[in-house]
Structure 1
């Protein structure tokens, strides 16, 4: 049901609302992004420690926004929370489209610009991204210095799982395949253990959870998308200059993505977190890396002790980061 303000009811139910953002067309038809919002109570909006702050959240690969606890955390501090389902993901995926299809990560500048246009100017902006969304927002913040006052990255995909040397070795092969057939399906490598870990923890399913938007073994990857990701990794490796404080949250350890073990529910089974921690130091001048014992790939979907620790770190860090940035 549409509201008079132009916002529609969201699948997550109240207090969440959504709005479709028109991004034009491509060879697969109309392209849209979707912004989801949740607002604090009037009292928290006026008096909370983050009154006057807007948060923009961007999801990862094979994902969409459904992490309501993240929204409640921010609105509980008085911030206005917004999440962006990028083009061809989640709420923005249309029939006949290739899920997640993109040929350059800079194309998401249009999605983010449309979201920020709806959010409006005049308030302080915090960016929060998970996995691929963390890579996208890190690159965006580097290109748009001065736009954000803090960046929070939840297990950002800053480097390929085979490391820098492996990335450099396969990049020419991926580029050649992308030139020949950018949407040709690549072999599936996701065995579904990360999704299984979330189910065993109890993080999914939740009200409003859509497995067709978040398949257990991920979307099929394609050479054009992979070339864009590798280009993003290479840019990070060359060094970014994000001009605001950056917090990177990671699990304390990684576990194998190819077998189920006792650690799969308490470690990152998607990325090699030590490589990500090293890559994070190239994002800018003021970087904080938090390693969380017991966390999985999305630290905010971890079991309660690790999830609570992650929220506590963000709570303490963001107050100091905004204060320090304001005084510059």
Structure 2
């Protein structure tokens, strides 16, 4: 790991993103830790903003999106991001305890991370909370909201990971494999995170974005059986219907491909997202972003601006 400063323990302290951001440790049951980040200009004014937005990242990822925080702050929203246990700013604590980085044996445990973040945000005086989840975060957030009614007032899901991106026969084979290995050999490697998408985004490979490659890997990263089993079980739970009664905005690119990493979703099948979106709740809006990347917030212009404007306009209308 690089020599990056850890979040402050128990209090807000300097963050790796610079003076507009601060971070703190969120203690969790079982001596686990997550990290909460706040956008200082939008969260430390004389009176707290009525609505706060909490960003939840995807697999093998972390919060490094200052432009998203600035756009939301410009419309009057307080902005927070969480690095879930074992990810990004919370990497060291999990690895030091013998855990695998970027994954847990059951993603349901992330409900504890979101509970802690929501409690900290509410205690800062914000009356309403919108959760913005990307990819795996877009799977974790609605499951948490369904299990914890009343803790989120709205959800925005950026390319949520609602299904494994494989043909049906291969998906069924994967389910059988991870169900068996998840029980017998939970740390068995069942797949690897590809490197092409992350490299296409990073400035060192010609992309637009700076992020820490140890926290968002540029190299092949192992995914283990118990984690994969819990993801697939969670996807099946969502597919059965969550029936959330809070407003939900689901966004995805207009196309998927294997190799057009910046202008299509090269990670997920957007048809799966379009199909599953209505099953999340009773008030779901689906929007396509032409030319959008998997992380729509990291798309090239003008898709990025369209994504951000769509999110902001929806929040203004649905979370007054």
Structure 1 stretches of 4+ moved >4 Å: 1-5, 41-47, 163-166
Query: Structure 1 unaligned runs (5+)?
Result: 324-328
Distance 1:156 1:18 in 2: 25
Q: Does 1:69 align with 2:72?
A: no
Q: 1:85 aligns with which of 83, 86, 92?
A: 83
Partner of 1:221: 223
Q: Does 1:10 align with 2:15?
A: yes
Trace 1:262-301 onto structure 2 (pairs within 5 A): 263-301=260-298
Contact 2:9/2:25 (<8 A) preserved: no
Distance 1:220 1:12 in 2: 27
TM-score (norm 2): 0.89
CA spacing shift, 1:188–1:42, aligned 2, 3 Å? closer
Contact 2:42/2:78 (<8 A) preserved: no
Partner of 2:187: 183
Deviation at 1:163, TM superposition (A): 5.5
Contact 1:45/1:79 (<8 A) preserved: no
180-189 or 229-238: bigger deviation: 180-189
SS of corresponding position for 1:170: helix
SS of corresponding position for 1:204: coil
CA spacing shift, 1:167–1:53, aligned 2, 3 Å? same
Trace 1:113-124 onto structure 2 (pairs within 5 A): 113-121=115-123, 123-124=127-128
Contact 2:253/2:270 (<8 A) preserved: yes
Deviation at 1:92, TM superposition (A): 0.4
Contact 1:15/1:39 (<8 A) preserved: yes
Q: Does 1:31 align with 2:32?
A: yes
Partner of 1:326: none
Deviation at 1:140, TM superposition (A): 0.7
Partner of 1:126: 130
Contact 2:8/2:25 (<8 A) preserved: no
Query: Structure 2 unaligned runs (5+)?
Result: none
Contact 1:45/1:52 (<8 A) preserved: no
Trace 1:1-328 onto structure 2 (pairs within 5 A): 6-25=11-30, 30-40=31-41, 51-94=49-92, 95-96=95-96, 97-121=99-123, 123-162=127-166, 166-188=170-192, 190=194, 192-199=195-202, 202-205=207-210, 209-217=211-219, 219-256=221-258, 260=259, 263-323=260-320
Deviation at 1:322, TM superposition (A): 1.6
Deviation at 1:129, TM superposition (A): 0.5
Distance 1:201 1:129 in 2: 26
CA spacing shift, 1:163–1:23, aligned 2, 3 Å? farther
CA spacing shift, 1:289–1:107, aligned 2, 3 Å? same
CA spacing shift, 1:319–1:130, aligned 2, 3 Å? same
Distance 2:242 2:249 in 1: 15
SS of corresponding position for 2:319: helix
CA spacing shift, 1:218–1:80, aligned 2, 3 Å? farther
TM-score (norm 1): 0.86
SS of corresponding position for 1:18: strand
Contact 1:22/1:31 (<8 A) preserved: yes
139-148 or 268-277: bigger deviation: 139-148
